[in-house]
Amino acid sequence: MDLFDVSGKTAVVTGGTRGIGLMIARGLLQAGVRVYISSRKADACAAAERDLAGHGTITAIPADLSREDECLRLAEEVRQREQSLNVLVNNAGATWGAPIGEYPAAGWDKVVDLNLKAPFFLTQAFLPLLEAAGTPDDPARVINIGSIDGLRVPPFQTYAYSASKAGLHHLTRVLARELGPRRITVNAVAPGPFESKMMAATLASFGDEIAGSAPLKRIGRPDDMAGVAIYLASRAGAYVTGAVIPVDGGIGTTV
């Protein structure tokens, strides 16, 4: 059955060198997608490209996506290699935690620039390639990686992070209405706890407690994130747009 077949498609995964982005990039590669990954650090890009090369066709392009000009450059680098783009995964993100009386403006700027502004400007920059790929029966896909902290009040003092992710969820709905007539779907995934550099300290201190709070009694695994990305990128997800899908073992919706 080819309902979940994504072989032959092309995808860009930002923040694809580690954590959730790496999980998605690896899953798409294993499913037969030609994947471009991006990260701010050139050495991280090179290492991830080597790590993923055994799974399929992978190209890593370093870019600082907190800057609009770098979003445009990344899109141009892909355009020089591809005539169309089936899937854009806006995953690159940052967090910042500090008590309310000490929370700095620099923290807000860093987090909002990467978590909220970059997905918009990347989608804007990749629009021509996405439009070239989309058809009525198989639209191009934009997948924004939000967070359950954008669905609920988070337990930690990460004010800019939770606000930016809630903003990204709503931006997803706005773009879904705008881009649907152009044969592009826009959806968001709201992950719960997964093993990543961003979550490493939290899981080291509270991992058992967090897993115990989930109805499914565990944290996320790589296949959980790869699975939802493949679903949204495949024909199975062709009629889904403007959705925010929690992938969190039930934490954000039942706890």
- Is residue 231 flagged as an active site residue? no
Q: What is the pLDDT of residue 155?
A: 84
Q: Where are the domains of the chain?
A: 10-254
Q: What is the pLDDT of residue 199?
A: 66
Q: Kindly tell me the sign of the dihedral angle through the C-alpha atoms of 206, 111, 160, 218.
A: negative
The pair of three-digit structure tokens given for residue 10, joined into one six-digit string:
């092309």
Residues of the chain with pLDDT under 70: 1, 196-201, 203, 206
Catalytic residue among 36, 103, 159, 161: 161
φ, ψ of residue 216 in degrees (nearest 5): -90, 0
φ, ψ of residue 62 in degrees (nearest 5): -65, 140
Dihedral class, residue 183 (left if φ above 0, else alpha if ψ from -120 to 50, else beta): left
Residue 182: which of 232, 136, 238, 225 has the closest Cα? Answer: 136
Residue 12: which of 82, 67, 68 has the closest Cα? Answer: 82
Does 10-254 carry CATH code 3.40.1390.20? no
Q: What is the pLDDT of residue 251?
A: 86
* Helix (H) or strand (E) segment spanning residue 90: strand 87-90
pLDDT digits (tens, 9 = 90+) for 188-227: 999 988 876 666 667 677 677 777 888 888 888 999 999 9
What is the C-alpha end-to-end distance of the chain, expressed in Å? 36
Residue 118: which of 74, 82, 149, 83 has the closest Cα? Answer: 74
